């Protein structure tokens, strides 16, 4: 797949603000600061389609990006940053649940984890939740530029084990900085789109 066209179609905090049709969607979930918005910019080859920040908690809404007029990438708000207030955390849970539970076109939620660390407790919770709803199967390891080859192999094993991944689950390393991994990920998107066409 080549992404020729990408546009922000909707910014939502509740279902009435979602795009109305049932176009296929692939969403990005993961803790704040893991690199969801950066990955979107990498895939679309646009520097600032999605806002990126060194401070966690940048994306607090559900952002729908329309890709090649054929599917959407959905940038979800991150979890797990220290400064979030209790009411904000509750709002986050409610917002995520409504989207993940009832979205017709949603096929896969890619879980993003930082390749440098073992997945956090919240990462594990998130992935279990995705598994429960049948939205699992794709894990993207971000910031691959920050580890050596040796560390990478070691951390991949740790991530597999901590998230309890099965043999069919896909794990893809990416680096928004070095611009690597996007071709493999786009191939995976092709496969997901083909599969949901049938």
Q: Which residues bind ligand GTP (CB under 6 A)?
A: 30, 32-38, 52-54, 56-59, 77-78, 142-143, 145-146, 175-177
Between 9 and 193, whose beta carbon lies closer to ligand GTP? Answer: 9
**Least separation in angstroms between CB 159 and ligand GTP:** 15
Contact segment (CB under 5 A) with Mg ion among 54-62, 114-122, 151-159, 179-187 equals 54-62
- Measured from the CB atom, the residue of 40 and 165 that comes closer to ligand GTP is 40
Which span sits near Mg ion by CB under 5 A: 59-67, 85-93, 97-105, 180-188? 59-67
Partner residues linked to 7 by β-bridges: 66
| Window 3 to 42, contacts with Mg ion (CB under 5 A) | 36-37
Q: How many helices (H) and strands (E) does the chain have?
A: 5, 7
Residue 117 contact, options Mg ion, ligand GTP, none, Cβ 5-8 Å cut-off depending on partner type: none
CA distance 36 to 110: 10
- CA 4, CA 2: separation in Å to the nearest integer? 6
**Burial call 5-28: b when 16+ CB within 10 Å, e when fewer:** ebeebbebeeeeebeeeebbbbbb
Residues in the chain: 198
* C-beta of 116 vs 193, nearer to ligand GTP: 116
The least CB distance from residue 20 to ligand GTP, in Å, is 25
Q: Which of 168, 194, 179, 169 is nearest to 71 (CA)?
A: 194
What is the nearest approach in angstroms of ligand GTP to the Cβ of residue 46?
A: 13
Which residues are CB-contacts of 152 (< 8 A; sequence separation ≥ 6)?
A: 115, 144, 173
């Amino acid at each position: 797949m080549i992404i020729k066209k990408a546009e922000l179609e909707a910014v939502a905090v509740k279902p009435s603000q979602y795009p109305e049709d049932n176009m296929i969607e692939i969403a990005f979930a993961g803790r704040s600061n893991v690199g969801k918005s950066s990955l979107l910019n990498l895939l679309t080859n646009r520097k600032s389609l999605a806002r990126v920040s060194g401070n966690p908690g940048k994306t607090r809404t559900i952002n729908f990006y329309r890709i090649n007029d054929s599917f959407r990438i959905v940038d979800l708000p991150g979890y797990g940053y220290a400064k979030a207030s209790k009411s904000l955390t509750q709002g986050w849970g409610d917002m995520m649940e409504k989207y993940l539970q009832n979205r017709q076109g949603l096929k896969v939620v890619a879980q993003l984890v930082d390749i440098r660390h073992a997945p956090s407790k919240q990462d594990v919770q998130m992935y279990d939740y995705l598994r429960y709803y049948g939205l699992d199967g794709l894990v993207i390891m971000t910031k691959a530029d920050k580890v050596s080859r040796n560390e990478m192999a070691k951390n991949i094993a740790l991530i597999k084990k901590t998230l309890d991944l099965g043999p069919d689950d896909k794990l893809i390393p990416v680096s928004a900085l070095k611009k690597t991994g996007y071709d493999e990920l786009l191939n995976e998107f092709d496969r997901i789109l083909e599969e949901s066409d049938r």
